[in-house]
Structure 1
C-alpha cells in the first residue's frame, strides 16, 4: 500500500505547479499532433517531443509514457520532494540509476477546472512483469468519462460518490456540491482517492464499506456511481469491475437501493449493464429493478454486445490473451454461464433516477445507439423537467389544451426513393440537432400539424383546423396527435410555449 503522507503530497503538488505539469503545460510541450497521438495510444511522437523538455518533459515521460528516467533528472523535476521520499512513499520505483513511476498521476481537466488524478498504472505504462493486482485502481477511463458527461451539474448541497475508485467523479462533484462524500470497498482505492483529493486541495469525506453500508441512514441531493457492472459468473477477479454477484445483480442492487438514499427531489446517475435473455424484453427487466413508490427513472441503452464479443473485450481489459490456454479456459467458463442462463447479449448504458413526490413515477427505457457530441448531463436535467410538465399536462385533455411550439433545434428531414413515375414514398423525419439527437418519423398530417406549432393557439385548435383542411375526422386526428406530441415533448422536440425564453 502506498504511503502518500500529506507532507509528501504537498511537496509533490508544489513540484507540479513549479514545472507546469498540468493539462495546459502538457499540451503546450507536446504540441497538438503529439498530444493527439498519445490520446490514440501512440507514444512515439510524445517521446520525441519531450526529448530535452527539462523537468516537465521528465514528468511527462515518467507519468504519462511509462519511461524510466535518470535519477538526477527526476530529482530536479520533483523538487522539493526528495527522491528518497518519493520512493519510500510508493510514488516511484528505483531501477539501478534510473527511476520510474510506480503510480499513475496525470492531469485531468473539465472547463476551467484542472486536477491531478492518482491511480494504478495502466497496461500502456506498466513495465513487463508488473501484473494487475486484484485491488487494481483504474484511472480516468472511457467509462468514468462517459459518466462524467452524463451527470447533472446543477448546484446541490450534498453528493455521494459510491465506489469512488481514484476519485474522479468526486472531483467533478466538487464543482457543484457544497459537500462531497466518497466511499469504496477497497482500502487501496480510498488511499489513492485520498491522495487525489489532497493533491487538489479538495475536501471530501471518505468512508469504507460495501455498497451503501457506509452511509446507511443518510440521504443526499445527488448520488453518482460507476459500479463494478461487469456481468457473468459470481466471482471477484478484480475489485474495480467484478461485484461478486451473478449476472446483472450489481446493477439491479444499485437501482433498487439508490432512491432510498436520496432527499426528496434528489437524483442518482450511474452506469449499468443488463442481460438480454431469450424471450425477455430488456426494458421489462430493468424496470422490474425499481423499488415501489415514486421514482422517476430513465434507462438509456447505449450499446448491446453479443456474449463472445463481451467476454473477449473484458479478457483483454484484464490483460489476458484470449488465445492462451488460461484465456481460453476463462472464456469457456464465462460463455458456459451465458449459455446456461439464456443470455443473448449484454446491454450497457446510463440510468437516471429521481425520488419524486408523486405516488407513481415515470419510467422510460429507450435505445440511444447513435453517436452524439453533446454531454448527456444537461439532457437528464431537461428530461426530468419535461417529466414534471407531462405529469401535470400529459393527459389527452392537458396536451390538447396546451400551447406548444417546435423547438428551435428540431429540423424536418424528408427522404424519397425513385419509383416508376419519379420520386415517391416520402419519409418524414424530425431530427433534434442538439443533445442526444433524437429522431422521430411522422406522417404527412403530422408534418402539417407541426407546421402550426408556434405557441399561438392550443393544440386542439390546430387539430380542428387541420381536420377542416384535410377532410379527416377531428376526433381521430386528436386521438393520433396526443401520443405523438407526448413523445415529442418528452424528447424536447416540441416544448410548451412558456418555455420559449429558455431556448
Structure 2
C-alpha cells in the first residue's frame, strides 16, 4: 500500500494558469481514496466483470477499440447498445463513455462494492438529488497491464468524456508518452527505483515489480493522490513524496536558497516521464501541470540531465523521455554535447536515441490541440502564435523527441557517449534490447581492437543479408545487414565485412576470419582490420553480433 505523501520543504512553485475556456473558479474533483476494506472487493468486481485490457478489446472489437484510442466514442457506443446490460458493458459505459447510470445497474456490475461503495471511494458522483438519482464517473478508470500483470489506473476524466476543457491541475492517465517509456525501460532486478514525476503512477506500477524499494515523486499533490489510489488497488507499496525535480530525494530543484539542498539519495534505476513540453512563458496562456515544467525552453530537461547523476548508484541507470530544441543551422546533437560536457555529467555514459522531430509550427499545433483547442478558432491562433514567437526568440529551428539513458559506471573510468538517430520503426518492448545495448557499449568501451578481433562472434538469429544489383551485374552494388528485432538496423557492408559476418558462428575468432578473408581478397590483414574495426564495433553495439557463449537469445529481440 502507498504511504502518506511527504512534502519537500523547498517544493514551492507558482500555480498553473487556467486554460482558456475553463472556468477559473472551477475546482477539480478530489482523487478517489480506497479504504482498506474495499480493496479486494473492488479488485474482484473489476476482474469478474472482464474489465481487463483483453476483456475490453474482446467486448468492443478491433474497429471500436481503435476508434476509442482516437477519442472517437461513437463506434464503442454502438457496440455497447447491442451488448445490453452486462457487467463489462456497464463498466465501460461508466468509465470510458462517461454515461450516467442508475444505482441498480451499478449494483449488478459491482456486486461486492455496490454503488454505495463506488461513491464512498470517490469513483462515482451523484448527478442530481431525488429518487431517480443517476451516478456518473468522477474520474477515469481503465485497465492496464503487461505480459504478467493486470492493473487498473485511475486519473482525471479526459476531455472527450466530459466535453469540457481540461483544468490546469489535470492528472493524465495512461497515454502515448507513458506507454513509450514503459516499453523502452530496461528492467533488471534492482534494489531502489526512483520514479520522478510519477503522475498517476504508470511507471511506478512497472518498477515495483522488479525492485525492492520504490520512491515516486511529483510536484502535484493531486497526482500523488491518484498514485496512492493506484498503488493501493495494485497491492503495491510506494514511498510517495511531493516536490520539484530532485528536491524530495535530497537534491537541488532550481531553488538556490541557502540550505535548499540535502545529501542526495542514490538509486539503481531512475525513470522519468517529466513535464518536458516546451511552453511559452506568457502569463495569459494556459498551462497544464502534467506537461509543463515551468521553465523556459528545454531548461527542464537540462535540469534533469544535470541533476540525475548525483542520484545514480554505481552501475545505476536513468531512463527518461525528453524534448529538446535545435537552433537554426545546428544539429540535434549540439544540445546534448553542451549538456553532457557540464561538470555534473562528468563520468556518466550516455545513450541518446533521437526518435522524431517537428518544426516550430508543427510543435505549436500539436500542443494547442492537446489543450483542447481546434484549428480555426481564435484561441488556437493565439496559442500557436505565442509558441512561434517563443521559438523565434531563441532561434529554434526544430524540436526533437527521444529516449535517453544515462549510466554511472561501477568503477571510475572514462565515459562513452552514443548520440543515436533512430527515426524508423523499432521492436516492442525495447527494454530488454536497451539493457543488452548498454552492456555491449560498456564492454566495447574497454575492449581494444586486439581483443575485439581475438573474440569469436556469433551472428544474432534475427540478422539477414540483402544484396542489391542491377540486372546482369556479376557483383552486388549494395549489401545490407538487416536486423529483424531491436532497433531494426539496416547497415551497409562491403564484401569483406559481409564475409566476416557470414562466418561468425562462434567457432572462428575475428583474427582467423580476417586472415582468411585477406588471403582471398589479396589485402593486407592489418589494413583490413583497421578498415573494418569501426563497422564491427557498430555491429556488436547494436546486437547484430554477440560474443560466443553469451547466449543466442541476445539477438532474438525482446522477450514477449
TM-score bracket for the superposition, by shorter chain length: over 0.9
Distance 1:105 1:249 in 2: 33
Shift of the 456–131 alpha-carbon distance from structure 1 to 2, 3 Å rule, reads same
TM-superposition CA deviations, 1:374-433 (whole Å, max 9, x none): 31111111011102321232x222223222232222111112345xx6687611111111
Q: CA RMSD in A?
A: 2.3
**Equivalent residue in structure 2 for 1:209, among 226, 243, 259:** 243
Separation (CA, whole Å) in 2 of partners of 1:17 and 1:180 = 26
Note if 1:111 corresponds to 2:167.
no
Q: Which has the higher strand share?
A: 1
**Partner residue in 2 for 1:445:** 496
Higher mean C-alpha displacement, 14-23 vs 249-258: 14-23
User: Which residue in 2 is equivalent to 1:30?
Assistant: 60
User: Which residue of the other structure, out of 400, 405, 423, is the alignment partner of 2:458?
Assistant: 405
| 1:175 counterpart SS class | helix
- Following TM superposition, by how much is the alpha carbon of 1:484 offset from its aligned partner in structure 2, in angstroms? 1.1
Matches within 5 A, 1:309-320: 309-320=362-373
Q: Measure the CA separation in 2 of the matches of 1:262 and 1:340.
A: 35
Rounded Cα–Cα distance in structure 1 between residues aligned with 2:427 and 2:520: 40
Partner residue, 1:373: 427
Q: After the TM superposition, which residues 313-392 of structure 1 pair with which residues of structure 2 at under 5 Å, given as runs? A: 313-356=366-409, 357-392=411-446
2:101 aligned residue: 69
Secondary structure in structure 1 of the residue aligned to 2:159: coil
Which residue does 1:223 correspond to in 2?
Answer: 270
Structure 2: runs of 5+ lacking an equivalent:
1-28, 251-263, 555-560
Higher alpha-carbon deviation: 323-332 or 276-285: 276-285
After TM superposition, the structure 1 stretch with the greater mean CA deviation from structure 2, 162-171 or 70-79, is 70-79
| 3-state secondary structure, aligned to 1:99 | strand
Whole-angstrom distance in 2 between the partners of 1:209 and 1:143: 22
Q: Could you tell me how far apart the structure 2 residues matched to 1:362 and 1:488 are?
A: 17
3-state SS of 1:498 partner: coil
CA distance in structure 2 between the aligned counterparts of 1:324 and 1:417, rounded to whole angstroms: 54
Is the 8 Å Cα contact of residues 164 and 183 (structure 1) preserved in structure 2? yes
In terms of mean alpha carbon deviation, does 403-412 or 28-37 score higher?
Answer: 28-37
2:205 paired with 1:171: yes
- The alpha-carbon distance between structure 1 residues 495 and 65, as it changes in their structure 2 partners (threshold 3 A), is same
Counterpart position of 2:158: 122
Contact (CA 8 Å) 1:66, 1:124: kept in 2 or not? no
| Pair 1:463-2:514 in alignment | yes
2:32 maps to which residue? 4
Q: Which moved more, 1:261-270 or 1:471-480?
A: 471-480
Q: Deviations over 1:259-313 (max 9, x none)?
A: 2111111111101111121232221321332334321111001101111111101
CA distance in 2, matches of 1:389, 1:193: 38
Aligned to 1:94: 126
Q: In structure 1, what is the Cα distance between the partners aligned to 2:335 and 2:66? A: 41
Using the TM superposition, give the Cα deviation of residue 321 of structure 1 relative to its aligned residue in structure 2, in angstroms.
2.0
Q: 2:468 is matched with which residue?
A: 415
Change (3 A) 1:66 1:424: farther
Does structure 2 conserve the Cα–Cα contact (< 8 Å) formed by 1:117 and 1:168?
A: yes
Q: Paired residue for 1:245, among 274, 285, 295?
A: 295
Cα deviation per residue 1:318-360 (whole Å; 9 max; x = unaligned)? 1012322222111111101212212111110101111112322
Maintained 8 Å contact 1:287/1:363: no
1:449 to 1:31, Cα distance in 2 relative to 1, 3 A:
closer
Identify which range, 421-430 or 150-159, moves more after superposition: 421-430
Of the structure 1 ranges 61-70 and 233-242, higher mean CA displacement relative to structure 2 is found in 233-242
Higher relative contact order (CA 8 A, sep 6+): 2
Moved over 6 A (4+): none
**Match status 1:139 vs 2:173:** yes
For 1:38 and 1:29, how far apart are their aligned partners in 2?
Answer: 13
Q: Contact 2:98–2:136 (CA<8 Å) still a contact in 1?
A: yes
Change (3 A) 1:106 1:279: same
* Residue ranges of structure 1 left out of the alignment (5+ in a row): none
Give 1:196 shift: 1.0
In the superposition, the TM-score normalised over structure 1's length comes to 0.92
Moved more, 436-445 or 83-92: 83-92
* Residue 27 to residue 501, structure 1, CA distance change in 2 (3 Å): closer
Question: In the alignment, what sits opposite 2:91?
Answer: 59
Separation in 2, partners of 1:73, 1:184: 37
Question: Is residue 285 from structure 1 mapped to residue 335 from structure 2 by the alignment?
Answer: yes
Tell me how many residue pairs correspond in the alignment.
498
Contact 1:232 1:338 in 2 (8 A): no
SS in 2 for 1:125: helix
Corresponding residue of 2:25: none
Cα 1:423/1:30, change in 2 over 3 Å:
same
CA deviation string 1:76-109 (max 9, x = no partner): 4345546456446543233344322120011112
SS at match of 2:366: helix
Q: Is the 8 A contact 1:3 1:89 kept in 2?
A: no
Contact 1:221 1:262 in 2 (8 A): yes
CA distance in 2 between counterparts of 1:232 and 1:414 reads 47
